[in-house]
Amino acid sequence: MEDIQKQYDAIFVRKSVRKYRSEPLPPDAMFDLQRHVKELEPLLPDIPFAFEVLTGEHPTGKFVVQAPQYLLFYSKPDEPGAWENCGYLLEQFSLLFTSLGIGSCFLGSAKPPASMMQSNGLDYLSMLAFGLPEGSVTRERAAFKRKPVEEVTDVAEEADLLEAVRLAPSAVNSQPWLVTGVRGDLLFCRRKPPFFGRKHMNLVNRIDMGIALCHFRLAAAMAGKPIRVSLDPAQEHFPEKRAVPSGCVFSARVTYCTAAPPVKQYKAPSVD
């Protein structure tokens, strides 16, 4: 719960950090991170995943940020939900980093050295640059460049919870999410990317959707509402299928209890 509170608070102040001090994190901080790996909550428990840390070398590719270290994520890229799971898990790290004063930045086009393209039979999907920042890891709420809430959702009664989604980071700040449905039963969709670069954007936007689901899960948990996430586009286990808005692709259907969480009743002392 302590980690959930820290991660949730970080949503409202975090930013991508692109300037780092040159030294890697001290060994005790790295040891602490390993402890956090055990506490991570995957989106899909059945998809195998692994992390590796790249130190002392830089990845190649477009838009690479020079950092002392990189957290590499591996999984089975062809499994349904693998890319969403990547965003969901790496974002938990990114938020924890923020809460610890450590900077990070997703790198969607970067490639690790050839020797690190695989780990334990799993393929490399994406990475986070991380390290001690030159400057701050946080910013004022007003400095977030994001779409207005009306472009993110039409579920006005859940706007408070969905603020965490609105503020989520995304590849080239594309903010592909569109959330429809009703309170307690939300459909998370992603807008199809423009034709140019569609193949790559389709993959990184799936990471973005995993990040959005991570933020929503944290906001709902803080409101005392654990969520259930179904990534089945056929929506087989639901009595009614919700329509995906035109120009969008199904990402997830998220359900949760709408009743107010139990509040401890205050029993007034009896007056004799």
Ligand X SMILES: Cc1cc2nc3c(=O)[nH]c(=O)nc-3n(C[C@H](O)[C@H](O)[C@H](O)COP(=O)(O)O)c2cc1C
By CB under 6 A, name the binding residues for ligand X: 15-16, 18, 63, 65, 105-109, 169-173, 204, 207-208, 211
* 177 vs 250, beta carbon nearer ligand X: 177
* 127 vs 256, beta carbon nearer ligand X: 127
* 108 vs 112, beta carbon nearer ligand X: 108
- Type of residue at 24: P
In the complex, what is the shortest distance from the CB of residue 130 to ligand X, in angstroms, rounded to a whole number? 13
In the complex, what is the shortest distance from the CB of residue 61 to ligand X, in angstroms, rounded to a whole number? 8
Q: Which pair of structure tokens corresponds to residue 207?
A: 């990471």
The distance between the two most distant Cα atoms of the chain, rounded to a whole number of Å, is: 79
Whether residue 243 contacts residue 250, with contact meaning beta carbons closer than 8 Å, is answered with: no
* 171 vs 256, beta carbon nearer ligand X: 171
3-state secondary structure at position 181 = strand
* 163 vs 208, beta carbon nearer ligand X: 208
Q: Which pair of structure tokens corresponds to residue 111?
A: 């490639």
In the complex, what is the shortest distance from the CB of residue 94 to ligand X, in angstroms, rounded to a whole number? 9
Q: Is the dihedral of CA 151, 155, 158, 162 positive or negative?
A: negative
Whether residue 89 contacts residue 128, with contact meaning beta carbons closer than 8 Å, is answered with: no
In the complex, what is the shortest distance from the CB of residue 180 to ligand X, in angstroms, rounded to a whole number? 22
Number of H helices, E strands in the chain: 5, 9
DSSP H helices, the chain, are: 2-11, 27-39, 82-99, 159-166, 198-222
In the complex, what is the shortest distance from the CB of residue 144 to ligand X, in angstroms, rounded to a whole number? 6
* 155 vs 212, beta carbon nearer ligand X: 212
- Type of residue at 182: V
Q: Which pair of structure tokens corresponds to residue 79?
A: 């499994």
In the complex, what is the shortest distance from the CB of residue 263 to ligand X, in angstroms, rounded to a whole number? 35
Kindly list the distances between the CA atom of residue 158 and the CA atoms of 167, 182, 200, 215, 218, in Å, as whole numbers in the listed order. 15, 8, 31, 14, 14
* 142 vs 259, beta carbon nearer ligand X: 142
Nearest to 175 by CA among 185, 158, 162: 162
In the complex, what is the shortest distance from the CB of residue 63 to ligand X, in angstroms, rounded to a whole number? 4
* 15 vs 253, beta carbon nearer ligand X: 15
3-state secondary structure at position 190 = strand
In the complex, what is the shortest distance from the CB of residue 87 to ligand X, in angstroms, rounded to a whole number? 6
DSSP state of 246: T
